[in-house]
Structure 1
Amino acid sequence: MPRQPRLDLAGIPQHVVQRGNDRQPCFFEEADYLRYLQELKELALRRHCAVHAYVLMTNHVHLLLTPSAAGQVAALMQALGRRYVRYINDRHHRTGTLWEGRYKSCLVDRESYLLHCYRYIELNPVRARMVGEPDGYRWSSYGANAHGRHDPLITPHPNYRSLGADAESRQNAYRELVRQAISDDDLTAIRLHLQRQHALGTDRFRAAIEAQLGRRAGPAKIGRPRKDAKSAL
């Protein structure tokens, strides 16, 4: 059975994850992280994708980005994967694949889940017990979003900008947001929708995506179709 094309629409944020093959490392030294970010920055500009949040873990990456047109995220990730694998194989004298198959992605409802995804991504190193606080991890967008650190890769989403009237108030509000624990339900929803590549958001958001794409954006309804009154007679 052919694979379903990914859910992909212009102007709708996407949460993307790509893992190392067999959960093996995909970053081995500082130069590798720097090279990945350099390539990502160049390709995001070329493919007109705004990057809002990211984290580079030892064996996987998370990105939150908004494409200006359908197909741009796929083009970015394919080019980035090829470039980075070639770099890693040359630098570390290795051969073969680096990534675990295709990347996974899900569309994100700006109103209900976008800032949850910001937090989810930047808190990965804390959940992995690599650091005690997100600002203790170098390879994420937290420094830019929470403290205003210069990061040419980051384009703030309008929902992030709405946190305050100026940069300082936005950063204060964002730090407070990150300090609030993500509920278990939200953690489960983000992970499940990303794994299944379903649209993450309200029923209304999902219905709008389905109307535009002409196919399901979430799980099929379970059970037999309900009979109407006539057919039941």
Structure 2
Amino acid sequence: MPRSRRFQIPGQVWHITHRCHRQQFLLKFARDRRLWRYWLFEARKRYGLCVLNYIVTSNHIHLLVRDQGKGEIAQSMQLVAGRVAQAYNRRKQRKGAFWEDRYHATAVEKGDHLARCLVYIDLNMVRAGQVTHPANWETSGYREIQSPPRRYRIIDLNALQQTLGMEGTSQFRTIHREWVEQALADDRMQRDPRWSGSLAVGSKPFMEEVRRQMGPQVYTRRTESDRETTSLHDSSGTYMPNSNS
């Protein structure tokens, strides 16, 4: 299977997904999900990773980050994935791969598309039928945004607000909570593979800019559009259409 190419675009927001090997439920225990979150915190400290949202499920993770242009995303993913896999295999006396070969990254346009992606991540475990509200899933960015811990904060709220074009933390929390409640009320639970399987999601002008920055290797990639969104296909085959993303 071809590997999905990695792109570095300073200032770009990326939605990252990384799945356990063969979609096994290797993160089904809370201790392993918490360990993933701990190493994400360490990655933020060590490499300056700018985290906007995240969720750790039983067999994959979602991570929303803003590219600082210093190679911090690749370094962070290597650190987190490696340490979690080592700890699990050592505890279980297990050998073999813990993760799928590589993580997948989708460029997301700032503004409305970013807001939709944020909520899509928040609702992951509701969509999977594990909880009725994102506040009930411990290892999630929703809980951290709405009830920030005194220590070990991971999400950069200032960066998130800035990227969404908002000001005022308390106002942002209210708006964020309203977005989620409205999505729940409207029953917007459907899985949308564009957020996890495309090279980019946004408006048509955004897609043209992404093509320009990614270079000739994406010029032949197909795009699909509806009234609100254009997505750029990833032909690498890294996306798993049967997963609960």
Q: Shorter chain as normaliser: what TM range?
A: 0.7 to 0.9
Flag the 1:181–1:78 CA change in 2: closer, same or farther, 3 A: same
Contact 2:161 2:167 in 1 (8 A): no
Larger Rg, first or second structure (1 or 2) = 1
2:209 alignment counterpart: 208
Q: How does 1:96-175 map to 2 (within 5 A)?
A: 96-150=96-150, 152-156=153-157, 157-159=160-162, 162-165=165-168, 167-175=169-177
Give the AA of the match of 1:211.
R
Cα shift readout 1:86-143 (whole Å, capped 9, x = no counterpart): 1111112211111122111111101231111111111101111111111111110111
Alignment coverage as a number of residue pairs: 219
Flag the 1:219–1:26 CA change in 2: closer, same or farther, 3 A: same
**SS of alignment partner, residue 89 of structure 1:** helix
Kindly state the Cα deviation for residue 46 of structure 1 after the two structures are TM-superposed.
2.0
Give the percent of matched residue pairs that are identical in Structure 1 and Structure 2: 26
Cα shift readout 1:140-181 (whole Å, capped 9, x = no counterpart): 01112234444511112134674453x322211110011122
Kindly state the Cα deviation for residue 66 of structure 1 after the two structures are TM-superposed.
1.1
Contact 2:20 2:99 in 1 (8 A): yes
**SS of alignment partner, residue 17 of structure 2:** strand
Equivalents in 1 of 2:86, 2:123: separation in Å?
Answer: 29
Equivalents in 2 of 1:203, 1:184: separation in Å?
Answer: 27
Q: How does 1:1-233 map to 2 (within 5 A)?
A: 3=3, 5-69=5-69, 71-150=71-150, 152-156=153-157, 157-159=160-162, 162-165=165-168, 167-181=169-183, 191-196=193-198, 198-215=199-216, 216=218, 219-220=221-222
Give the AA of the match of 2:161.
P
Give the AA of the match of 2:75.
A
Q: TM-score, normalised by structure 1?
A: 0.82
Kindly state the Cα deviation for residue 44 of structure 1 after the two structures are TM-superposed.
2.5
Contact 1:54 1:121 in 2 (8 A): yes
Kindly state the Cα deviation for residue 70 of structure 1 after the two structures are TM-superposed.
5.4
Flag the 1:221–1:107 CA change in 2: closer, same or farther, 3 A: closer
**SS of alignment partner, residue 41 of structure 2:** helix
Give the AA of the match of 1:152.
R
Cα shift readout 1:26-50 (whole Å, capped 9, x = no counterpart): 2243321221111111113322221
Contact 1:199 1:217 in 2 (8 A): no
Kindly state the Cα deviation for residue 221 of structure 1 after the two structures are TM-superposed.
6.6
Report the aligned-residue RMSD: 2.8
Contact 1:112 1:202 in 2 (8 A): no
Q: TM-score, normalised by structure 2?
A: 0.78
Give the AA of the match of 2:125.
P
Equivalents in 2 of 1:33, 1:185: separation in Å?
Answer: 26
Contact 1:27 1:33 in 2 (8 A): yes
Equivalents in 2 of 1:94, 1:10: separation in Å?
Answer: 38
Equivalents in 2 of 1:186, 1:125: separation in Å?
Answer: 10
Flag the 1:162–1:10 CA change in 2: closer, same or farther, 3 A: closer
5+ residue gaps, structure 2 = 225-245
Kindly state the Cα deviation for residue 194 of structure 1 after the two structures are TM-superposed.
2.6
Flag the 1:160–1:207 CA change in 2: closer, same or farther, 3 A: closer
Give the AA of the match of 2:47.
R
2:239 alignment counterpart: none
Contact 2:55 2:140 in 1 (8 A): yes
